[in-house]
Amino acid sequence: MNSRPLVDVLPGRLPAGAARSFAVHASMRYRLDILNSGQYPTNMRSLTIMLASTLHAVSYAQPVLNLTNLQPVVGSTYTFSDAAYQAQGAAGANVTWNFGGLVPTGTPVSFTYVNPATAEGAVNYPGANTAWRSGTGAQAVVNYQAYSASSMQELGTWLGFGYSVFTDPLRQLSFPLTYNTSWSDDYSGTVQLFGTSTISGSLTSTVDAYGTLILPTGTFTNVLRLRTTRSETTTFSGLATTVESQVYYFLKAGFANPLLEVRTTTTTAPGSPPEVDQSLRYQSAGNTDIEGTTATSISVAPTITTDLVRVTSPEPFGQDLRVQVIDASGRIVGAPVSVATTSVQVDLSMATPGRYTILLQRPDGRRSTATVIRE
């Protein structure tokens, strides 16, 4: 949804002209729509981050998302791929959306949920109980959120050379979330980047559909679609840039971010004609290493189960492998585990329906996670 890569604001890359300079400040806002989006100080297109959702849903029933099922787990990592734009499809009940022919373009982008009390820039967001980080060191971007029983709010974004803070937070989700749920919100804040900019905006969101989503990664039932319309104005040195967007998020219980995002954005900056951008991004992976460690890639199947799941590794796990099963609230739960040379079998048949993270830690300290849904 962001119209210009953040690389444009780096020292030595600023184009001449106050209007263009302001437009760059405006694009820094890091529009983290419900999936929370951020931008790296690189040539990668803006990172659009998505939200978490977990729930036990019966086939053909209307899905319901809430705090218990949705708040992300620290350590979980998610990867997304861009693809050529495709229209969002129909609204309504029991819809089937076919995006099975998507072909990934460019380099996938990833982010990891981290401890909001100790992440970079935490002092600016005392009310945060959730945060994600993308990149490391000077290229790190950290977004902060506050989850409660009634909502998920965005508090702002930190990076090494600037940060944004919502003094009136943005209500990105309203709980419980189900078919025909609708809400509106006004928000405001400031951006500290080569000076101070002010942000003001409004958002209207409606769950306009539910049904079955077909992606290159599989077929997903009980999917909610959230339509979010947003208008935001950033003002710097008296010049205002406005971004209008309409985004469709396809959400499923147990996935810590939308499975698919389809967006159209129009940016109007001083001295420039409106710029329209259409984009599409889908979740291409949902289990990698815990932040701050070096991990070996793993895979899990099935990702939705009523009993057994198997986690496999391309290399032997070795002796003294530590296995933990963690529920959506962060508690370690008891589940029978069987470890073989390159695989781990976990029995979730006695577990309560919901989302679980399987944590594997090798004797050398390497850790990996796999996320699964117990139906």
> What value, to the nearest 5°, has the Cα angle with vertex 280 and ends 71 and 300?
50
Say whether 294 sits in a helix, a strand or coil. coil
Predicted pLDDT of residue 61: 66
Predicted pLDDT of residue 360: 82
Under 8 Å between Cβ of 309 and 338: no
Q: Which one, of 53, 50, 51, lies nearest residue 70 by Cα?
A: 53
> What value, to the nearest 5°, has the Cα angle with vertex 257 and ends 324 and 163?
105
Domain covering 299-374 assigned CATH 2.60.40.10 in the classification: yes
- In order along its 375 residues, the chain shows pLDDT tens digits of 332 222 222 222 222 232 333 233 333 333 333 333 333 333 333 333 333 332 333 334 688 888 767 777 777 778 899 999 999 999 999 999 999 899 999 888 888 888 899 999 999 999 999 999 988 877 889 999 999 889 999 999 998 889 999 999 999 999 999 999 999 999 999 999 989 999 999 999 999 999 999 988 878 888 999 999 999 999 999 999 999 999 999 998 767 688 999 999 999 999 999 999 999 999 886 543 332 233 456 788 888 889 999 998 888 887 788 888 887 666 778 889 999 988 999 999 999 888 888 888 777 666 677 778 888
Paired residues of 279 in beta bridges: 263
Tokens of 250: 């396809």
Tokens of 71: 């708040």
Domain locations in the chain? 6-285, 299-374
For residues 246-263, one letter each, b for 16 or more C-beta atoms within 10 angstroms of the residue's C-beta and e for the rest, the string is bbbbbbbbbbbbbbbbbb
The pTM score is 0.66
